Chain A
Amino acid sequence: MAKRPIKFRSSKHNMDYVLLTVVLFLVGFGLLMIYSTSSYEAAVEHNDSAYYLKKQATSTLLGFVGLVFMTKFPYKLLQKFDVLAIIVSALLIIAVLTPLGVTRNGARRWLNLQFTSFQPAELAKIGVIIYLASIIQRLECVGKNVIRTPKGIAIIFAPPAVIAGLIYIITSNLSSAIIVMGIAIAMLFVAVPDYKWFIIGAVSITVLVFLVVLYVSGADTTDSGFRLARVKAWLEPESYSTDRAFQTLQALYAIGSGGIWGKGLGQSMQKRGFLPEAQNDMIFSIICEELGLFGAMAIIFLFIVLIWSCMIIANKTIDRFGSLLVVGVMAHYAIQVILNIAVVTNTIPNTGITLPFISYGGTSSLFLLMEIGIVLNISKHCK
């Protein structure tokens, strides 16, 4: 481990234990829900009802090692790896095209590391956060308004855009691409005093989405691509109940049937074959079914606490790089949670987004916990 700068040792602040507690609770709850949702399918397909639980527990353990490491690791050193992080991320995404790449459920998104597999898009998210925090801080040092010049915008946005493009083109993973761009926009939003361009952008995207919806709802989808058909299935789930909207509709059934208090932990009927791979993207709908509206709201509340804590830390942290890192992480969580719940409730079309800390997924939980480690580390140094 690198030698610690002396001034950090003088810090009398403790790390944010509220945040740590919330995360520990979410991770524990996630494991519980993974067991609940996957045990039936695991027993049927793998003859071991704890098959998914064991795999997730292993990567969670690895994630906590990463978390502890990141709380000790002087985060300022990360700034030295900013460009490297972007390059490594890009290279690993490209590596998916090599024979190392693994295809699952029809999508080529994983790298085979023999003992485990690895999703480079998850690394890219943390890579982009580090790069942006670093580059914004550096540009601000160069001059007050440098980041608001077109050149500054280009330096800030070009690498995340390239990464998002690579993720979308190579791994056809639209959701990860959206998250990467979302993180970039959120970080820039916090860094600059402007509102105008963000409001214009938001309005124009809303109008664009509205136009697309209008077009799709009138269009004939028989020969169009699968994204268009997905949008169509989103708009009229009941008429695609047997194929495209099957999963969405089953998730809605699960949410609706839970009622206020739910059917009780482990009592979901939908996880028994109707909601395939319920432990992945759709785990929130099973939470709703088993624990009801109350349980779902409680989880949402915990995520709000998590994001709130991040915001407080980001606000208190004087160090620009550290503060921006926390903003990036916070944006990452917020975007992912909101998009996941929006998909599950059929508020937006179905894209494969996991629920942080709760959904099944090794790479994702490893990096999410490492990000928490960074935030906790930074929280020790805020005033």
Chain B
Amino acid sequence: MAGRSITKKGRRRRRSNVNIQKVKTIKLATMMIVILGLFVGLGVRLYIITRDNQNYYQKKILSQQRYDSTTLPFKRGTITDVNGTILAVSEKVYNVILDCKVMHAGEYNEDPTLTALAECFGLDKGQLLQYAKDNPNSQYYVLKKRITYDEMSPFLERKNEHNTEAGKKGNEKMGYIDGVWFEEEYIRRYPNNTLACDVIGFTGTDNNGTYGLEEYYNDILNGTNGREYGYLNDDITLERTIVPAVDGYSIVSTIDANIQAICEKYIKEFNDEHTDEHREGLGANNIGVIIQNCNTGEILAMASYPNFDLNNPKDLSAYYTAEQIEQMQADDTYYNTLNQLWRNFCISDTFEPGSTAKALTLATGIETGKITGNESYECGGVLQVADRKINCNVTRGHGTLDVSGAIEQSCNVAFMKMGEVIGAKTLVQFQRYFNIGLKTNIDLAGEPITSSLVYTESTMGPAELATSSFGQGYNVTMIEMSTAFCSVINGGYYYEPHMVSKIVNSNGDTIKNIEPRVLKQTISSTTSAQMRQYLYASVAEGTGRSARPAGYAIGGKTGTAETVPRDKTNYVVSFIGFAPIDEPQIVIYCVIDKPNVKDQAHATFATGIVKNILTEVLPYLHISRTEEMTIAEQEEINNILGNIVQENNSETQGEGEEGEDTPEDEEDDNEEEGNGEPFYVVDPETGELVDPVTGEKAEMNYSVGDEDNIQTPPSGN
């Protein structure tokens, strides 16, 4: 085109070029107008959307954000015994929730999700498919309730593996496991089932304790729920905040689970022995045992029977047939029956204490100086008081008795005479000193007010004075009697009974130590020392003889109280005692309400239980034997010890059979169970214990550590 002359053809080309240029310009302009028009149209559309819908769409956006606050549950505190054994604990459990909407967000998610659910939780995949089909937008469907972490974790692992695999290239059609989440919840578990059931009480899912420590310490055990919630800040942006849950405080009880178990074992044994013996039913209406540290007021064990499984408190099948339960549900006695079962006999039920109260009467007499200890009483088997004749426990009479003899023989006549000397005013006054008729304020739910069940000075006439002095005519609870008795023998200090020694927070820091609290001095320490001698004599020489465990010197008093109506058929038999004699450490009180036997009026039912319990508990508490033992007693101990050893043997053999324990392990086991003592085996010919190494006969001053698994000794009571 740079030629000197422009050819015709070149001119035409240029003309056509100009023409093409013109067409192009016009066309480009047209196109630009169309494009601009479209942009204007879109701009108008944008403007209209904003103008017409701004508020509505803003609300829509805000409404689809999640503000709903989620509750983060707190963990209720644990209840442990004095050694840290867990009595009640809250465990985190999980509810499996299916969110179909989330699951259906991915096209291929349904099959892997439902398959994994079916396989991990044993659900029916067909039903799941049907549900997902019928409710494709359901967001909250509870598939399974209260599974443990261990039950949940296989699903999480599987989800993880599957989703990693599905996330790889080319696996799009595998789909993801999605739309399943786990809602946290706590449930209360009682690892020892029936152990100390009346003392602990139970708690449902509402975190509301019923009976016992669970009820009394409800507010302390409970924490504060946390929350996760959303709110809109000043810029209308959603903020999500988590207020963490505050877990409840844990409580450390003074109960020793080992002692508790020993008590419950012998109570159960008594019950089983006498079930259906005289009448149809349990071995007694109620059996209760309290073991209390007399120098602090702490309760070491508080057991009663019938008992129930704390994990399943509404299960009555142990005591009633299915028809009976149905009948009860029909006539509205069902909850009465349950409440009867759940109430703590040891603190809630009242009864006439009977002769055990003679200890209080005598202490009152000595403390006030009205009885010196040099008196003597003539018992002819009956005493005329006002217009009534009141019988002694031995109808033919005890003859002449000194003070010690009166308590040894538990002579009613002698005590009526003492009561007369003491006088109604002083007796009532001292009953109050001993807290009889007042609440002990033990830290358990369900202690009744007993003030209307005792006499006042004005209501106590001569006859009432007479019966009161030997423990009839007024009512007490076990805990009242036990705590009063502690002060009689510990030097006169009345400690407030209590069940909890420490409150700790969820980090294990101590929040509060509950120290022993002396409320008052009931009697002087000299009177107390004198009372210990009398009560020792009562066991050594008198009615309480059968309560003495071999090798120990204990003091105590039996009780046999006739119940109303006084027709000489139904009795409350009891024994209250302390050990050791010189520096008392524990008080034990056993009450049997209407034992299921033909002739109920024998305190030996109670002393038998006490003896068995003490035989195990005293060595456990490292209280050493002080008394000579007869050959018969030694053999009895041998039998018990033999049972322990056999038990240990069979246990270790059992473990050996599993093929997991090496001989060395066995030795370790034995050392643990024998608490460092040499391990003895029973000589099959003599029945005596021999040292397996030396072959020598075992010495008797054994001390046993954990005797949880001591087998029932042969009944020799």
Known: A190-B31, A252-B57. Is A288-B137 also a contact (CB below 8 A)? no
Task: Chain B residues near A347: list those with CB within 8 A.
Answer: 41-42, 45
Closest to B22 in A: A193
- Contact pick for B49, options A267, A327, A345, CB 8 Å: A345
Task: Chain A residues near B170: list those with CB within 8 A.
Answer: 102-103
Closest to A307 in B: B35
Task: Chain B residues near A288: list those with CB within 8 A.
Answer: 46, 50
Known: A144-B16, A311-B32. Is A269-B238 also a contact (CB below 8 A)? yes
From 298 to 315 in chain A, residues with beta carbon under 8 angstroms from any chain B beta carbon are 300, 303-304, 307-308, 311, 314-315
Interface size on B, residues (CB 8 A): 45
Closest to A345 in B: B45
Q: Interface code A252-276, partner B: CB below 8 Å = 1, 0 otherwise?
A: 1111111110011001011000100
Q: Tell me if B389 is interfacial: C-beta within 8 Å of chain A.
A: no
Q: Tell me if B237 is interfacial: C-beta within 8 Å of chain A.
A: yes
From 312 to 350 in chain B, residues with beta carbon under 8 angstroms from any chain A beta carbon are none
Task: Chain A residues near B47: list those with CB within 8 A.
Answer: 293
Most buried by A among B58, B62, B170: B58
From 71 to 103 in chain B, residues with beta carbon under 8 angstroms from any chain A beta carbon are 101
| A376-B49 Cα distance, complex, nearest whole Å | 37
Closest to B13 in A: A141
Count contacts between A and B, CB distance < 8 Å: 117
Known: A252-B57, A269-B237. Is A345-B36 also a contact (CB below 8 A)? no
Shortest Cβ gap from A248 to chain B (Å) = 12
Q: Tell me if A296 is interfacial: C-beta within 8 Å of chain B.
A: yes
Q: Tell me if A320 is interfacial: C-beta within 8 Å of chain B.
A: yes
From 325 to 349 in chain A, residues with beta carbon under 8 angstroms from any chain B beta carbon are 327, 331, 334, 338, 341-342, 345, 347
Q: Interface code A164-192, partner B: CB below 8 Å = 1, 0 otherwise?
A: 00000000000000000000001001111
| A342-B238 Cα distance, complex, nearest whole Å | 30
Q: Tell me if A79 is interfacial: C-beta within 8 Å of chain B.
A: no
Known: A267-B237, A311-B32. Is A257-B42 also a contact (CB below 8 A)? no
Task: Chain B residues near A254: list those with CB within 8 A.
Answer: 57, 61
- Contact pick for A341, options B31, B36, B42, B107, CB 8 Å: B42
Q: Tell me if B172 is interfacial: C-beta within 8 Å of chain A.
A: yes
Are B46 and A293 in contact, with the CB atoms below 8 A? yes
| A327-B36 Cα distance, complex, nearest whole Å | 15
- Contact pick for B28, options A140, A190, A270, A338, CB 8 Å: A190
Task: Chain B residues near A98: list those with CB within 8 A.
Answer: none
Closest to A297 in B: B43
Q: Tell me if A323 is interfacial: C-beta within 8 Å of chain B.
A: yes
Task: Chain B residues near A255: list those with CB within 8 A.
Answer: 46, 49-50, 57
Are A256 and B49 in contact, with the CB atoms below 8 A? yes
Q: Tell me if A225 is interfacial: C-beta within 8 Å of chain B.
A: no
Closest to B58 in A: A257
Q: Tell me if B400 is interfacial: C-beta within 8 Å of chain A.
A: no
Q: Tell me if B21 is interfacial: C-beta within 8 Å of chain A.
A: yes
| A104-B167 Cα distance, complex, nearest whole Å | 11
Q: Tell me if A150 is interfacial: C-beta within 8 Å of chain B.
A: no
Task: Chain A residues near B39: list those with CB within 8 A.
Answer: 300, 303-304, 338
Q: Tell me if B127 is interfacial: C-beta within 8 Å of chain A.
A: no
| A265-B27 Cα distance, complex, nearest whole Å | 40
Q: Tell me if A106 is interfacial: C-beta within 8 Å of chain B.
A: yes
Known: A327-B28, A342-B42. Is A259-B61 also a contact (CB below 8 A)? no
From 48 to 78 in chain B, residues with beta carbon under 8 angstroms from any chain A beta carbon are 49-50, 52-54, 56-58, 60-62, 64-65
Task: Chain A residues near B143: list those with CB within 8 A.
Answer: none
Task: Chain B residues near A315: list those with CB within 8 A.
Answer: 24-25, 28
Closest to A246 in B: B105
Known: A242-B137, A345-B42. Is A189-B27 also a contact (CB below 8 A)? yes
Task: Chain B residues near A314: list those with CB within 8 A.
Answer: 24, 28
Are A256 and B50 in contact, with the CB atoms below 8 A? yes
Task: Chain B residues near A24: list those with CB within 8 A.
Answer: none
Task: Chain A residues near B27: list those with CB within 8 A.
Answer: 189-191, 193
| A106-B106 Cα distance, complex, nearest whole Å | 11
Shortest Cβ gap from A242 to chain B (Å) = 6
| A296-B42 Cα distance, complex, nearest whole Å | 11
Are A256 and B28 in contact, with the CB atoms below 8 A? no
| A257-B63 Cα distance, complex, nearest whole Å | 12
Are B53 and A256 in contact, with the CB atoms below 8 A? yes
Q: Interface code A132-155, partner B: CB below 8 Å = 1, 0 otherwise?
A: 000000001000100000000000
Are B64 and A274 in contact, with the CB atoms below 8 A? yes
From 382 to 423 in chain B, residues with beta carbon under 8 angstroms from any chain A beta carbon are none
Are B45 and A269 in contact, with the CB atoms below 8 A? no
Task: Chain A residues near B235: list those with CB within 8 A.
Answer: 263-264, 267
Are B137 and A256 in contact, with the CB atoms below 8 A? no
Are B31 and A338 in contact, with the CB atoms below 8 A? no
Most buried by A among B21, B42, B45, B238: B42
Shortest Cβ gap from A250 to chain B (Å) = 9
| A90-B704 Cα distance, complex, nearest whole Å | 93
Task: Chain A residues near B60: list those with CB within 8 A.
Answer: 253, 257
| A311-B27 Cα distance, complex, nearest whole Å | 10
Shortest Cβ gap from B209 to chain A (Å) = 42
- Contact pick for B54, options A106, A256, A269, A318, CB 8 Å: A256
| A270-B60 Cα distance, complex, nearest whole Å | 11
Are B32 and A257 in contact, with the CB atoms below 8 A? no
| A308-B28 Cα distance, complex, nearest whole Å | 10
| A349-B625 Cα distance, complex, nearest whole Å | 97
Are A189 and B54 in contact, with the CB atoms below 8 A? no
| A288-B45 Cα distance, complex, nearest whole Å | 13
Closest to B41 in A: A347
| A256-B35 Cα distance, complex, nearest whole Å | 24
Are A259 and B32 in contact, with the CB atoms below 8 A? no
Closest to A99 in B: B170
| A255-B60 Cα distance, complex, nearest whole Å | 12
- Contact pick for B23, options A106, A192, A252, A318, CB 8 Å: A192
Are A269 and B65 in contact, with the CB atoms below 8 A? yes
| A259-B53 Cα distance, complex, nearest whole Å | 9
| A300-B32 Cα distance, complex, nearest whole Å | 14
| A204-B427 Cα distance, complex, nearest whole Å | 118
Are B31 and A186 in contact, with the CB atoms below 8 A? yes
Are A106 and B42 in contact, with the CB atoms below 8 A? no
| A253-B35 Cα distance, complex, nearest whole Å | 26
| A112-B49 Cα distance, complex, nearest whole Å | 41
Known: A253-B57, A320-B20. Is A293-B50 also a contact (CB below 8 A)? yes
Q: Tell me if B38 is interfacial: C-beta within 8 Å of chain A.
A: yes
| A190-B35 Cα distance, complex, nearest whole Å | 14
Task: Chain A residues near B21: list those with CB within 8 A.
Answer: 318
Shortest Cβ gap from B298 to chain A (Å) = 55
| A338-B41 Cα distance, complex, nearest whole Å | 10
Task: Chain B residues near A191: list those with CB within 8 A.
Answer: 23-24, 27
Task: Chain A residues near B4: list those with CB within 8 A.
Answer: none
Task: Chain A residues near B236: list those with CB within 8 A.
Answer: 263
Are B23 and A193 in contact, with the CB atoms below 8 A? yes
Are B32 and A252 in contact, with the CB atoms below 8 A? no
Task: Chain A residues near B52: list those with CB within 8 A.
Answer: 256
Task: Chain B residues near A253: list those with CB within 8 A.
Answer: 57, 60-61
- Contact pick for A252, options B53, B64, B237, CB 8 Å: B53
| A368-B588 Cα distance, complex, nearest whole Å | 95
Q: Tell me if B169 is interfacial: C-beta within 8 Å of chain A.
A: yes
Are A258 and B50 in contact, with the CB atoms below 8 A? yes
State the 6 A-B residue pairs at the shortest beta-carbon distance, nearest first: A256-B57, A256-B53, A257-B58, A190-B27, A253-B57, A193-B23
Pairs A–B under 8 Å by Cβ, sample size 29: A112-B169, A144-B16, A190-B27, A253-B60, A253-B61, A255-B46, A256-B50, A256-B53, A256-B54, A256-B56, A258-B50, A260-B50, A263-B235, A264-B235, A274-B61, A274-B64, A288-B46, A293-B46, A293-B47, A296-B46, A297-B43, A300-B39, A300-B42, A304-B35, A311-B28, A315-B24, A323-B24, A338-B38, A345-B45
A-side interface residues toward B, CB under 8 Å?
102-104, 106, 112, 140, 144, 186, 189-193, 242, 252-260, 263-264, 267, 269-270, 274, 288, 292-293, 296-297, 300, 303-304, 307-308, 311, 314-315, 318, 320, 323, 327, 331, 334, 338, 341-342, 345, 347
